[in-house]
Structure 1
Amino acid sequence: MEHGAHFDLIMGFWGEAARDEDRLSVSLEYHIVDGIPSFMVIDARPRPFAQAAIAGRALDRSEVIGTDMAGFAFKMVDAIALGDDRLAELFPGLCEAEASHQVQ
């Protein structure tokens, strides 16, 4: 069975002194390719969450790929996938092998 999901992240500084401008929106799309779970960075701007005033700017895919931000975003979705039992159906076999991070 094919599954898909979007993981919309707001990354940056939080706390009393933090401003919306201190945070960025990043979006990843999850899908299964040849039976392997895979995340792919996509443009965050068109995603509904990017309209919220909580982040200063939504990043395009080209602004994330190849940067430290990409690595951090992939680590975040891996932690979510491995740590939330409610998502087990989306990630078959993920406990045996981490999801693939394909640059497409």
Structure 2
Amino acid sequence: MPNIALELGEQSAALGVKSSYGEPLDIDGVRIIPVALTWVGYGGGSDDSGNGGGGGGGYSVPVGAYIRRGDDLRFEPNIVSLLAIGIPFVWVAGRALSRVIRALKK
């Protein structure tokens, strides 16, 4: 039986920056290196008779790109993606903080 952990690792390597943006590009002396945020998850199981199954999935969000012109390197964010990630994070963090403050007041 093949090593399932190695197979899953090879499959998850295909997700991420390459699936969101593609390979780094060189255009007119400018190097563009994409950046992405990726989640990957897998699960599986079997019953007493040996029948089993599993599945997995992934999610990749393009965050931005590093732009290199000669010696100058800077990050150019993808504003839409950062807002899509940032707004729910700020909401959850604010809600958690309000509950902590409320618990400390008691």
TM-score range, shorter chain: under 0.3
TM-score normalised over the length of structure 1: 0.23
TM-score normalised over the length of structure 2: 0.22
Which structure is higher in helix share? 2
Which structure is higher in strand share? 2
Larger-gyration structure (1/2): 2
Q: Which has the higher contact order (CA 8 A, sep 6+)?
A: 1
